[in-house]
Structure 1
């Protein structure tokens, strides 16, 4: 199984779940710090059993576009080998500016330099859509791209005026950043709080005073990424069943163990799933009486 960085929520959840899966009879060999669009392609090409993937990546694979444009025909055909198990909540988008920057809302960001994610991937579309939902059209600012790992330091070095990054709610690294220099968080407008379908996100709130150097007096509406646990269609029904059952039956336990996992129990089973469900997952949902959307049935 592959996932993102070890300190991201989508990396932390599989790590936390590994002992539970092992107890259920599924030995998960976890590889972290992976590029998830590549992980998805490995599943589709029968080279990997499972990975946490962004739903927009699967849409791109089906259409042979984005990171798969150069192998469009192969991507479209191999997408038929991917199945979904369940949704997972990801990180929160935080649109950050220094409190003394003079930027108090998105309108103040006109003509400014805004970090919009890595050079390739689903984040660019997600961030530009989020910024537009805040009231700043795409053509009204200078969108800059850089690897996630370099973004925070680049912001501290003054390369961005607004840094739209992904963090778990209450992130320690963001808390430390705010202690070094007060920050302001920019949100989306209330009437735009629901993200467009297909972006792989859901509405979320960053409460006032979440970070020690946060100057916002009111809660900030933002968007939270959604992920899908994707597997190869040839995974055994028993393994897919155990992965699904064990995760869903231990979500509350994880949430009680750490505030990082607070969103696990309240995230809908299917909100981030856009691949057909694996028969093993279908078996579990049917056992507990959960209605499955027709579009997710193979």
Structure 2
């Protein structure tokens, strides 16, 4: 009887050890609407994290209606919750300002940074293969801004800022038709914002050739946005670097994520980034320098990785 109990204990102990060895850490990744480039990025990141950790961390991508919702849920989500948002929104949440003024929460103070992801980059696209052209090239043109998106709002702001609103025609149509409308001559140009290379710009350049507006450093400074360079060759027919503006986007979590998980996710992201960029070029635009655009404080686990990797971290993030 004693030997039988010993054998049973060995079997049970082995089963428990095997279960522990295969334990998974589950993380929710709140991104964007299904079908968007940012949702696709979440899928790519999920696959990279699973592969890079040998299945130790499982990232489940969850559809979102936008960055404000992502940040709002940071106040109520338990455990391992990662969400994407422009850094300015995370700052507004902590301050209880902007869209969070009527729904403040002390738990917004628990928001912590992990790593940057591709920025929302402004593209002003014109018909014709002239390469990189100055902002004034859209004068006298019919320009599609779209409605309700960051790109539409930002584009409208630029028309006012640079005195162009009365020097062109704004088309009344949805941005989803931009490439076809440009090809068919219904519009002369369109404005869009997204990670580059942007699918709708690729489509437009492949179907007839396009030009891109490149801005001066002075113009970029006037917008108050981050300067970004779209490298030559990113789009067919654009053989020069294009200077434009961008709204940074960051993957955040909260202090409810344990240090080891934050460390492992951050480490795996950077180690798998080059591999992700081989199949999805928008990851090439993410560099450690983008940490300078982050607002708030890094998660202790993420900071541990950056210090181990010798990556410079702005003092205000520590």
Compute the TM-score of the two structures, normalised by the length of structure 1: 0.74
1:40 partnered with 2:71: yes
Secondary structure of the structure 1 residue equivalent to 2:114:
strand
Residue 106 of structure 1 contacts residue 136 of structure 1 at CA under 8 Å; is this kept in 2?
no
Q: 1:260 to 1:110 in 2, by over 3 A?
A: closer
1:232 to 254, 278, 283: 254
1:210 to 220, 235, 240: 235
Cα separation, 1, equivalents of 2:64 and 2:145: 20
Residue 194 of structure 1 contacts residue 203 of structure 1 at CA under 8 Å; is this kept in 2?
no
In structure 1, what is the equivalent of residue 61 of structure 2? 30
Residue 88 of structure 1 contacts residue 267 of structure 1 at CA under 8 Å; is this kept in 2?
no
Secondary structure of the structure 1 residue equivalent to 2:62:
coil
Cα separation, 1, equivalents of 2:73 and 2:101: 15
Secondary structure of the structure 2 residue equivalent to 1:46:
coil
Cα separation, 2, equivalents of 1:57 and 1:145: 29
Cα separation, 2, equivalents of 1:99 and 1:156: 10
The C-alpha deviation readout for 1:154-192, integer Å capped at 9, x for no partner, is 766877653111354444543332343443221212444
Aligned length: 283
What is the Cα deviation at residue 226 of structure 1?
2.3
Q: 1:278 to 1:96 in 2, by over 3 A?
A: same
Task: Describe how 1:261-276 pairs up with structure 2 within 5 A.
Answer: 261-264=283-286, 266-268=287-289, 270-276=291-297
Cα separation, 2, equivalents of 1:112 and 1:64: 41
Residue 195 of structure 1 contacts residue 223 of structure 1 at CA under 8 Å; is this kept in 2?
no
2:44 to 9, 16, 24: 16
In structure 2, what is the equivalent of residue 53 of structure 1? 85
In structure 2, what is the equivalent of residue 79 of structure 1? 108
2:308 to 273, 282, 287: 287
What is the Cα deviation at residue 52 of structure 1?
1.8
Task: Describe how 1:56-135 pairs up with structure 2 within 5 A.
Answer: 56-66=88-98, 68=99, 71-75=100-104, 77-99=106-128, 105-110=134-139, 114-116=143-145, 118-119=147-148, 122-123=150-151, 126-127=154-155, 135=162
> Could you say what the CA RMSD is over the residues aligned between the two structures, in angstroms?
3.8
1:250 to 257, 264, 272: 272
Q: 1:188 to 1:208 in 2, by over 3 A?
A: same
1:174 to 197, 201, 217: 201
Cα separation, 2, equivalents of 1:155 and 1:257: 28
Q: 1:74 to 1:146 in 2, by over 3 A?
A: farther
Residue 151 of structure 2 contacts residue 191 of structure 2 at CA under 8 Å; is this kept in 1?
no
Cα separation, 2, equivalents of 1:295 and 1:279: 13
Residue 143 of structure 2 contacts residue 171 of structure 2 at CA under 8 Å; is this kept in 1?
yes
Q: 1:125 to 1:271 in 2, by over 3 A?
A: farther
> Gaps spanning 5+ residues in structure 2: where?
1-28
In structure 2, what is the equivalent of residue 2 of structure 1? 30
Q: Please tell me whether Structure 1 or Structure 2 has the larger radius of gyration of its CA atoms.
A: 2
What is the Cα deviation at residue 146 of structure 1?
7.6
Secondary structure of the structure 2 residue equivalent to 1:87:
strand
What is the Cα deviation at residue 241 of structure 1?
1.3
Cα separation, 2, equivalents of 1:22 and 1:272: 27
Residue 105 of structure 1 contacts residue 186 of structure 1 at CA under 8 Å; is this kept in 2?
yes
Q: 1:106 to 1:26 in 2, by over 3 A?
A: same
Q: 1:132 to 1:205 in 2, by over 3 A?
A: farther
Residue 87 of structure 2 contacts residue 250 of structure 2 at CA under 8 Å; is this kept in 1?
yes
Task: Describe how 1:148-163 pairs up with structure 2 within 5 A.
Answer: 149=176, 161-163=188-190
